[in-house]
């Protein structure tokens, strides 16, 4: 992700050359390059990436925290230059394809080839045109505002409204107006795809989808099969959840708004993109005598954005990790500045690969932001742990690891933990009979998310492969969302709609498979950590808060960065070399059993087309 790291590239630098990737042979007249030359090439590349990356990061920071004509200009220039540099290095790396060399140098060359999110072709002007498009898309998204009831709202404010708004007409209005901000993107996006596909082909990949899928230390087709396997493990659970939630929405809103059969109306789920549904747990239940509402608890205590961030930091320091530096508090953007446009979407930054860590958020005080603060700090603690690795190894074991650390931390925020840190009173501690209510709230966020993440990437892979053409962009988007998630838009979509662009990661070209993988991995990390801590109770009640032995083992995995194929890193912390949904299944098993009972006799499908 562009803004996540010191350079646009480093987070996605991963993996071995894909089996299908071709490399061009050196011209026959030139002498074959040597291993020493490969080593020297890599060292020079790392120096250039480090210097240029630091410059790019500062430019990107100023743009993201103050969007205006001049910062757009700077951002676009830096982006184009960064793309040209990385394309030059990626093409240069291909020269050493047939040279015998130490494994570490080979790995770095492979990472160099995969170091771009959107590769541009080498012809003059291509990187520039691409940077113009990406900057325009980014600014259109981040400066989007809509008018509701005579007042202007930004996206972060609309998200807050949707968390609690229960009037279906007003919900549909907010949803429809926000999605309209993406309409101007509809002509830019096909051109972006065209240029980046051309760039991917020049680097030896058939298209951008295969290029992205080559980042996982295995051939892209194999990675696709892994994704299908993981989804297959959780799909039955999602179908039960969908069925139960649909019934509750039908009971709440009636047949005219939400029918009892078929797909769910996407705007009714408490989230602009129907990606996480935890905000409608008041509608879904199940009722429990004693449970708590984290948003209300935080608000009742007048928690500030700084305090929320300190709560997050405290979890990591309790594991024995160092406090964040003073500059983190001086330089981070925690809340929306009063008088300027910014990129509100949360991100974590490492500007110098030393100690200049920051987060950039527009914090509103609620449970979602509690989760996001932990998420972002997970990125920062990962970045700090691998800062002594060589430049090309400074990244997550794969991008899903980077996204999973902070979510793993937040899984530890159990009621018992909240009592320990003084957020809840002992008397508010939910008893065992509240387990299903607690698990439901988690399932609405964690399980509902999986088919959303999959839909995002299924759409993009189809677009990158040319199977979805511009004329079908929007209809294919809704076909895919309906098939995987079982959701439909509240109203017929206009002919010029470009609904995918209303989601940050499409407008900003951040791959999304990472979040799907992270949902699975975070439960593997959590179960492993709880095992290390000797926890014997129900998995979802475990917290490793304060356990420095777990912290040391976690940090050992983080310190590896991407110096080794990801199964090595996974093994270092969990003892297994496979991504696997069974920790997630195990965590939610009591709720699954309960849901199956509740849904007995119901028709739990939504015709997928
Ligand atoms: O984009 C994010 C993070 C930044 S890496 C806030 N997330 C995804 C999203 O918001 O769509 C975290 C969960 C999924
Ligand atoms: Zn993230």
**From the candidates 376, 403, 457, 527, which is the catalytic residue?**
376
Ligand number nearest to the C-alpha of 507: 1
Q: How far apart are the first and last CA of the chain?
A: 33
Nearest to 319 by CA among 609, 34, 112, 555: 555
Residue 142: the pLDDT is 98
pLDDT band at 6 (very low <50, low <70, confident <90, very high): very low
Which range (11-15, 125-129, 153-157, 595-599) has the least confidence?
Answer: 11-15
Ligand number nearest to the C-alpha of 504: 1
Residue 429: the pLDDT is 87
pLDDT in tens, 440-479: 999 999 999 999 999 999 999 999 999 999 999 999 999 9
Nearest to 8 by CA among 415, 466, 395, 336: 395
Ligand 1 near 375 CB (within 6 A):
yes
> What is the helix, strand, coil percentage profile of the chain, to 5?
60, 5, 35
Which range (30-39, 80-89, 226-235, 298-307) has the least confidence?
Answer: 30-39
**From the candidates 179, 336, 402, 505, which is the catalytic residue?**
505
Ligand number nearest to the C-alpha of 515: 1
Neighbours of 228 (CB within 10 A): 11
Name the residue of 399, 403, 485, 500 to mutate for ligand 1: max ligand atoms within 8 A of Cβ: 403
The answer, yes or no, to whether residue 569 has pLDDT greater than 60, is yes
Q: Find the mean pLDDT for residues 552-561.
A: 98
The answer, yes or no, to whether residue 390 has pLDDT greater than 50, is yes
Concatenated DSSP letters of 262-277? SPEEGGGGSSTTSS--
Task: Please give the Cα distance from 501 to 185 (Å, whole number).
Answer: 7
At residue 605, the 3 state secondary structure works out as coil
Task: Please give the Cα distance from 163 to 298 (Å, whole number).
Answer: 15
* CA 323 to mean position of chain CA atoms: 25
**Ligand 1 center–CA 514 separation, angstroms:** 10
The answer, yes or no, to whether residue 172 has pLDDT greater than 70, is yes
pLDDT in tens, 359-378: 999 999 999 999 999 999 99
pLDDT in tens, 318-334: 999 999 999 999 999 99
Name the residue of 379, 411, 455, 515 to mutate for ligand 1: max ligand atoms within 8 A of Cβ: 515
Q: Find the mean pLDDT for residues 146-161.
A: 97
**Ligand 1 center–CA 512 separation, angstroms:** 9
Q: Phi-psi category of 411—alpha, beta or left, where left has phi over 0 and alpha has psi -120 to 50? A: alpha
Q: Is the peptide bond before 18 cis (omega within 30 degrees of 0)?
A: no
At residue 498, the 3 state secondary structure works out as coil
pLDDT band at 381 (very low <50, low <70, confident <90, very high): very high
What phi and psi values does residue 349 have, to the nearest 5 degrees? -130, 145
pLDDT band at 29 (very low <50, low <70, confident <90, very high): low
Q: What is the dihedral of CA 304, 309, 313, 314, to 10 degrees?
A: 20
Q: Find the mean pLDDT for residues 186-206.
A: 98
The pair of three-digit structure tokens given for residue 360, joined into one six-digit string: 């950039």
Q: How far is CA 211 from CA 248, 259, 358, 477, 491, in A?
A: 42, 41, 30, 21, 36
Nearest to 248 by CA among 281, 221, 204, 216: 281
This prediction's pTM: 0.95
Asked whether the CA dihedral 336, 342, 347, 349 is positive or negative, the reply is negative
**Ligand 1 center–CA 346 separation, angstroms:** 7
The answer, yes or no, to whether residue 9 has pLDDT greater than 60, is no
Q: The tokens 């160092």 sit on which residue?
A: 322
Nearest to 267 by CA among 154, 162, 164: 162
Ligand 1 near 508 CB (within 6 A):
no
Going by the DSSP 8-state scheme, the letter that residue 17 receives in this structure is P
**Ligand 1 center–CA 21 separation, angstroms:** 30
pLDDT band at 427 (very low <50, low <70, confident <90, very high): confident
**Ligand 1 center–CA 510 separation, angstroms:** 10
pLDDT band at 591 (very low <50, low <70, confident <90, very high): very high
Task: Please give the Cα distance from 89 to 26 (Å, whole number).
Answer: 15
pLDDT band at 608 (very low <50, low <70, confident <90, very high): low
Task: Please give the Cα distance from 49 to 35 (Å, whole number).
Answer: 21
Average pLDDT across the chain, whole number: 94
pLDDT in tens, 39-75: 999 999 999 999 999 999 999 999 999 999 999 999 9
The answer, yes or no, to whether residue 10 has pLDDT greater than 70, is no
pLDDT band at 27 (very low <50, low <70, confident <90, very high): low
**Ligand 2 center–CA 376 separation, angstroms:** 6
Residue 32: the pLDDT is 87
Ligand 1 near 380 CB (within 6 A):
no
Residue 287: the pLDDT is 72
The answer, yes or no, to whether residue 162 has pLDDT greater than 90, is yes
Name the residue of 141, 369, 375 to mutate for ligand 1: max ligand atoms within 8 A of Cβ: 375
Task: Please give the Cα distance from 349 to 358 (Å, whole number).
Answer: 5
Ligand number nearest to the C-alpha of 448: 1
Task: Please give the Cα distance from 178 to 24 (Å, whole number).
Answer: 46
Q: What is the dihedral of CA 123, 128, 133, 135, to 10 degrees?
A: 150
What phi and psi values does residue 421 have, to the nearest 5 degrees? -90, 10
What is the enclosing helix (H) or strand (E) of 145?
strand 145-148
At residue 15, the 3 state secondary structure works out as coil
Residue 401: the pLDDT is 99
Q: Quick check: is 376 catalytic? A: yes
């Amino acid at each position: 992700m562009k803004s996540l790291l010191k350079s646009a590239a480093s987070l996605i630098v991963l993996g071995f050359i894909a089996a299908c990737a071709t490399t061009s042979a050196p011209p026959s007249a030139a002498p074959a390059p040597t291993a020493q030359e490969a080593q020297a090439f890599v060292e020079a590349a790392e120096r250039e990436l480090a210097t240029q990356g630091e410059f790019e990061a500062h430019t990107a920071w100023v743009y993201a925290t103050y969007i205006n004509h001049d910062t757009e200009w700077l951002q676009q220039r830096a982006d184009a230059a960064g793309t040209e540099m990385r394309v030059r290095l990626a093409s240069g790396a291909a020269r050493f394809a047939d040279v015998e060399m130490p494994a570490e140098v080979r790995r770095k060359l492979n990472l160099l080839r995969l170091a771009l999110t959107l590769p541009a072709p080498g012809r003059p002007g291509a990187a520039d045109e691409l940077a113009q498009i990406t900057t325009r898309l980014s600014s259109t998204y981040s400066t989007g505002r809509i008018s509701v009831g005579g007042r202007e709202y930004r996206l972060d404010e609309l998200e807050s409204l949707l968390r609690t708004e229960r009037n279906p007409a007003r919900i549909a209005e907010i949803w429809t107006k926000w999605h309209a901000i993406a309409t101007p993107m509809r002509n830019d996006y096909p051109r972006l795809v065209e240029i980046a596909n051309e760039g991917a082909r020049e680097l030896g990949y058939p298209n951008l989808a295969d290029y992205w899928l080559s980042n996982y230390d295995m051939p892209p087709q194999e990675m696709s099969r892994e994704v299908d396997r993981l989804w297959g493990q959780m799909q039955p659970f999602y179908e039960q959840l969908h069925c139960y939630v649909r019934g509750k929405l039908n009971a709440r809103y009636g047949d005219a708004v939400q029918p009892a059969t078929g797909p769910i109306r996407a705007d009714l789920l408490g989230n602009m993109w129907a990606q996480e549904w935890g905000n409608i747990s008041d509608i879904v239940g199940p009722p429990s005598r004693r449970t708590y509402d984290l948003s209300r608890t935080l608000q009742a205590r007048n928690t500030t954005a700084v305090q929320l961030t300190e709560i997050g930091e405290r979890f990591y320091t309790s594991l024995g990790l160092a406090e964040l530096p003073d500059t983190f508090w001086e330089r981070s953007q925690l809340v929306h500045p009063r008088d300027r446009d910014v990129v509100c979407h949360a991100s974590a930054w490492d500007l110098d690969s030393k100690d200049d860590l920051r987060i950039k958020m527009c914090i509103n005080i609620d449970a979602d932001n509690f989760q996001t603060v932990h998420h972002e700090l997970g990125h920062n603690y990962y970045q700090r742990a691998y800062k002594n690795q060589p430049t090309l190894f400074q990244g997550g074991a794969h991008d899903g690891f980077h996204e999973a650390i902070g979510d793993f931390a937040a899984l530890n925020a159990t009621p018992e933990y909240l009592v320990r840190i003084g957020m809840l009173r002992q008397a508010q501690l939910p008893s065992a009979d509240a387990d299903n209510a607690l698990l439901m709230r988690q399932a609405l966020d964690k399980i509902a998310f999986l088919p959303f993440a999959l839909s995002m990437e299924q759409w993009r892979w189809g677009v990158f492969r040319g199977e979805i053409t511009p004329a079908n962009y929007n209809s294919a988007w809704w076909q895919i969302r309906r098939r995987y998630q079982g959701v439909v838009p509240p109203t017929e979509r206009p002919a010029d709609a470009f609904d995918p662009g209303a989601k940050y990661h499409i407008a900003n070209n951040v791959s999304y498979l990472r979040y799907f993988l992270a949902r699975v991995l975070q439960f593997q990390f959590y179960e492993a950590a709880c095992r290390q801590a000797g926890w014997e109770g129900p998995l979802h009640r475990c917290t490793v808060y304060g356990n420095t032995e777990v912290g040391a083992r976690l940090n050992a995995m983080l310190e590896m960065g991407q110096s080794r194929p990801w199964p090595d890193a996974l093994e270092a912390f969990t003892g297994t070399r496979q991504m696997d949904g069974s920790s997630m299944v195990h965590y939610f098993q009591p709720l699954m059993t309960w849901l199956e009972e509740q849904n007995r006799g119901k028709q739990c499908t939504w015709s997928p087309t």
